[in-house]
Structure 1
């Protein structure tokens, strides 16, 4: 859906570390969406839960505050995305796009888990 290409650093590190990453984004492989700053942090979370936060921004999106939470859930793990967006008058279409993007990504996660993490199958 959206290809996120590293600008700085290039390539992406094997593990996301605290700090800023500059990326370019392309929709459907052809339509450039511009550059975005991904600002990674690991906020404190309740015991047993892990948080990763991207408090990023771009020229079009003033605030893209994305919190990923991983927490124990029975014999598995619950994965939750929470996103707060401020893109001025474009907030509604950007938020709708984000909703579609994360729904698509959740389906891909489910397929990956069902395949036993066989990346080639996804």
Structure 2
């Protein structure tokens, strides 16, 4: 099943691109519903790089949901800059997901702002509809956070402005 977002962010595309590659922004737009703790030696990188990034996911910043791999690549797609996560859950409820493909893209609008698209493809067998509903709600929360923080990205003071 798919979860889709298509929103205009009040910042230039370069600023949005810089922000979505910053692991702190993932935390800022996910809080307080979900938090991510890096399991990499030395913690999160300054910018997401290609490869696997293990994390511990917590609900409300307190209750462990499980461990997962954030698997980053930067596919070449026409007319946009893209980052893709094809990671996987390693433990807990996250391990129920058998397919995870999360693609984030940025492109300029005619007025210099950013067209942001966010597509999640998930599969989890018979549990897919229930998980889809939870991820859809979480994606709406993330969109609110992105819209709120985007003006601060234009001044390069992200993630929290």
Fold similarity call, TM over 0.5: yes
Structure 1 counterpart of 2:78: 46
Aligned mate of 1:108, from 145, 150, 160: 145
* TM-score, reference length from structure 2: 0.68
Name the structure 1 match of 2:66: 34
Q: Write the distance in 2 (CA, Å) between the matches of 1:121 and 1:15.
A: 16
Q: Which residue of 2 aligns with 1:60?
A: 96
TM superposition score normalised by structure 1 = 0.87
Aligned CA RMSD, in angstroms, stands at 1.9
2:118 is the alignment partner of 1:81: yes
Query: C-alpha distance in 2, partners of 1:96/1:76?
Result: 30
Q: 1:31 to 1:80 in 2, by over 3 A?
A: same
Equivalent position SS for 1:13 = coil
Tell me the residue number matched to 1:16.
48
In 2: Cα distance, 1:16 partner to 1:121 partner: 18
1:10–1:88 Cα change, 3 Å: farther
The number of residues matched between the two structures is 120
| Bigger share in helix | 2
* Long gaps (5+) in structure 2: 1-32, 90-94
Would you say the 8 A contact 1:68–1:80 is kept in 2?
yes
2:122 counterpart SS class: strand
- Structure 1: runs of 5+ lacking an equivalent: none
Whether contact under 8 Å (1:9, 1:22) holds in the other structure is no
Aligned mates of 1:109, 1:62 — CA distance in 2: 27
* Displacement of 1:33: 1.0
- Counterparts of 1:99 and 1:72, CA distance in 2: 25
Q: More relative contact order in 1 or in 2 (CA 8 Å, sep 6+)?
A: 2
